Structure 1
Amino acid sequence: MPRGDLAGLVAAFGAALHDAGLPVGPDRGERFARAVTLLAPTTTAELHRCARATLTCHPEQFEILDRVFDAVFRGYADDPADFRGDPNATGTSTTTRSGGFSSAGPSSESPSSSQAPAREVEIPVATVGSAAERLASRDFATLTPEELAALQDLMRRLAVATPPRRTRRMRARPLGAAVDLRATLRRARRSGGHPVRLMRREPRLRPRRLVALCDISGSMEPYARAMLQLLYCAAGTSHAEVFTFATRLTRLTKVLARTRPAVALARAGQAAPDWSGGTRIGAALKAFNDGYGRRGMARGAIVLIVSDGWETGDPAQVGVEMARLSRLAHRIVWVNPRTQSPRYRPLVGGMAAAWPYCDAVVSAHSLTALDPLLAALEGHSRRT
């Protein structure tokens, strides 16, 4: 078995199992690949246990898996008990190599070897991650559009959650703080008009609205594309309002709805005429506050701003509009990829003016750096 990419190896193994009659689909193949990546098995025995734990769901399927496992990873069929740890198995194993993977073969038995305990042979197994996993640690600015699209499956596994808020609608709750008078009187009919049991209620909880404003100027274009793809894959545009800005503010919520990510990003570029243009953060924030924020969109919402803080206009306007926005929003999270450097200081005019009004500032420059962003969006308290 030649050494190669783990994704291709798992796909070939899964196809062989499926052809042999074992119902192995992409979900089981993904579990097997993740188990191999996390456990990093060094012997065929460990690899076999990973396969059994992730690719079968009933003992009756073991026989098929063992046979296919022998053919794929052993090169020829020998006694499966030799690597399953069967105490009744006889014989030892020697190591043969075939293109980087090792195969165990039966050895001749002698009087001295028949009494010796079986020896487990160390066999190197390739644990190379999939192409998407290798891209996860790379800066978004270094990824091509095709490589960024390859991260869609990993982004769908992320959970973009916002803290809950109480609504005016109520729901029945046995331990609720408020007494539901109407429900109590209706129930009292069962006991001759006597309110034997008080019915209680409490406000319903709903996730807070997420409002994203993405800087699509030349320096921020790759990061804006990554954030738009994250919002599409992980949150869904039905739970988020999305805007882009460079020299003007453009609402993309409807553009991103009900379509594939690649098509959505293409439409976003067509809908925003200032894509890769200059940056006027203050003017964009003023347009949002005047047109959407004070009308209720930002009230009690989680506002996500994606920008490096470079302002071609008046930085003082950024401070004024950020102050207005902070009085409306529940929480403001600023994504600045430049903050990944430990030497970064908010000295640029726009970033310096906005910094005091941000509840959290994160870099989110790669897929592996998104965890602080997700934690900041889910935070419940404001920074003091």
Structure 2
Amino acid sequence: MADLAAIAASLGEVLHRSGIPATPERQARFAASVVDIAPGTLDELYWIGRVTLVSERGQIEIYDKVFDQVFRGIIDFDQYLRQSQKPMPMNSKHADESKPASPSTGDRKDGNDSAGSAATPGDVADESESSDEPAILAAVSETELLRDRSFAECSQDELNLIAALVAKLPLVPPRRASRRSARNNHGNELDMRATIRTSRSTGGDPIRLEMKKKKERPRRVVLIADVSGSMEPYARVYMHLMRGAVQALHAEAFVFATRLTRLTRFIGQGKPDQAYAKVAENTPDWSGGTRIGKALLAFVRDHGQRGVARGAVVVIVSDGWEIDDPLYIEQAMSRLSRLAHHIIWVNPRKASVDYEPLVRGMSAALPYVDTFVSGHSLRAIQDVLEAIHRATDSTQIRRRAA
């Protein structure tokens, strides 16, 4: 049986391609609500998606068609409920349904038994009378609170839910211009050969100028996470982001506490539990002390200069606490900045209102950082993903002063 949350994640992607702006934030909210509410029928799943993914009434018709396209015949809810062994969280009216039919655009129940009639999803009056929506909205509100909560303040169950959502976040790679060009009517460079070929049909007169544009290719992404004791609650969540990046973006993944460990080979392989067990097995210094500078110097020496960091977007996740001389960090970041295209530093401590980068390690690194974000919560991880996506050739590099 396919995982319901995984299948639900595909709905947001198809909606986005169909013209509905299903942002990563809305997709994460939808996936969180699916996990929270555990819908018992396609009707219930329909309303969860409509409340969380649709922002305008004019989008409802497209949403209905996409929903049917994604879910019709894919999920057997009777089987899903038997396997999950969870009670249906919504009204018990669905208990008498022997086999719920897939909701169609013109035939969905509004959740009110007294009405006894079908309602069109686009009807605002029927929508307001739905008895299911208050429960859905309440669950969404709880999820919203969780999205803004720091990972350090979450319970283990909440961290497990957040980790599952992070693993399903859509990752969009940064782009870089290739050396090769392709014919493009909106290009900014004259395609002389194509122009001459076209002019043959007009007696050699180049009446129409053909243009070309550089092709784009994905830019390499490198993630380096601090797994020392001070970063423990954040590191476990970022392991899921690393796994997703390795699988979706072919990224490179490293962790460090007192020494650097490369995870790329096994974090993206097999089932998640097996991959994370392998990570723990190969990271004996997990939750230990922190030697950021020496770990970054090892990365530059053993991997960065050999091509891993060259022209890449490098993401470093650390609070900047350093037990060694911060001069090591300054040396490593100086060398790394000359190799990498863009450096993103994720520091959960930045989320504090009165935060100032006074820690010696952080103040030594900051002059070489292009983008500085907190990444302390589920919502803040969106800033990390956005920073990765925006680190393209058009990015204006502006080093931040300490």
* TM-score, normalised with respect to structure 2: 0.65
Match of 1:179 among 177, 191, 206: 191
**Cα distance between partner residues in 1 of 2:287 and 2:272:** 19
Q: Which residue of 1 aligns with 2:350?
A: 339
Q: Say whether 1:383 aligns with 2:394.
A: no
The separation in 1 between residues aligned to 2:317 and 2:130, in whole angstroms, is 49
Distance across 2 between alignment mates of 1:342 and 1:8:
30
**For the residues of structure 2 that align with 1:272 and 1:303, how far apart are their CA atoms?**
21
Gaps of 5+ in 1: 15-23, 40-48, 87-119
SS in 1 for 2:267: coil
Instruction: Report Cα offsets for 1:322-365 as digits up to 9, x if no partner.
Output: 01111111111111111111111111111110011111221111
Pairwise CA distance, 1:142? 3.6
The aligned amino acid for 2:367 is P
Matched, 1:260 2:278: no
Question: Residues 143 and 267 (structure 1 numbering): CA distance in 2 closer, same or farther, change over 3 Å?
Answer: farther
Residue of structure 2 in register with 1:33 after alignment: 48
The residue number in structure 1 matching 2:139 is: 129
Q: Distance in 2 between matches of 1:184 and 1:369?
A: 49
Indicate yes or no: 2:282 matched with 1:271. Answer: yes
Q: Which residue of 2 aligns with 1:305?
A: 316
Query: Quick one: distance in 1 between partners of 2:161 and 2:129?
Result: 37
What fraction of aligned residue pairs are identical, expressed as a percent?
41
Q: Find the counterpart in structure 1 of residue 39 from structure 2.
A: 11
Tell me the CA shift for residue 179 of structure 1: 2.9
Could you tell me which amino acid in structure 1 is paired with residue 134 of structure 2? Answer: V
Task: Return the index of the structure with the highest Cα Rg.
Answer: 1
Question: What displacement does 1:284 show?
Answer: 0.7
| Deviation at residue 143 of structure 1 after TM alignment | 3.9
Looking at structure 1, the residues matched to 249 and 261 of structure 2 have their Cα atoms a distance apart, in angstroms, of: 17
Instruction: Give, in whole Å, the separation in 1 of the partners of 2:138 and 2:337.
Output: 46
Indicate the structure with greater helix content: 2
Query: Quick one: which amino acid aligns to residue 311 of structure 1?
Result: E
- Secondary structure of the structure 1 residue equivalent to 2:148: coil
Equivalents in 2 of 1:347, 1:139: separation in Å? 21
Query: 1:85 deviation in Å?
Result: 12
Tell me: CA distance 1:143–1:262, structure 2 relative to 1, closer, same or farther (3 Å). farther
Q: CA RMSD in A?
A: 4.0
Equivalent residue for 2:98?
Answer: none
Q: Report the CA distance between 1:225 and its aligned residue.
A: 1.9
| Maintained 8 Å contact 1:225/1:265 | no
> What is the correspondence of 1:53-92 to structure 2 with a 5 Å cutoff?
56-59=103-106, 62=107, 65-66=108-109, 73-74=112-113, 77-78=114-115, 80=117
Work out the CA distance in 2 between the residues paired with 1:274 and 1:308: 17
Structure-2 residue corresponding to 1:209 = 220
Change (3 A) 1:202 1:80: closer
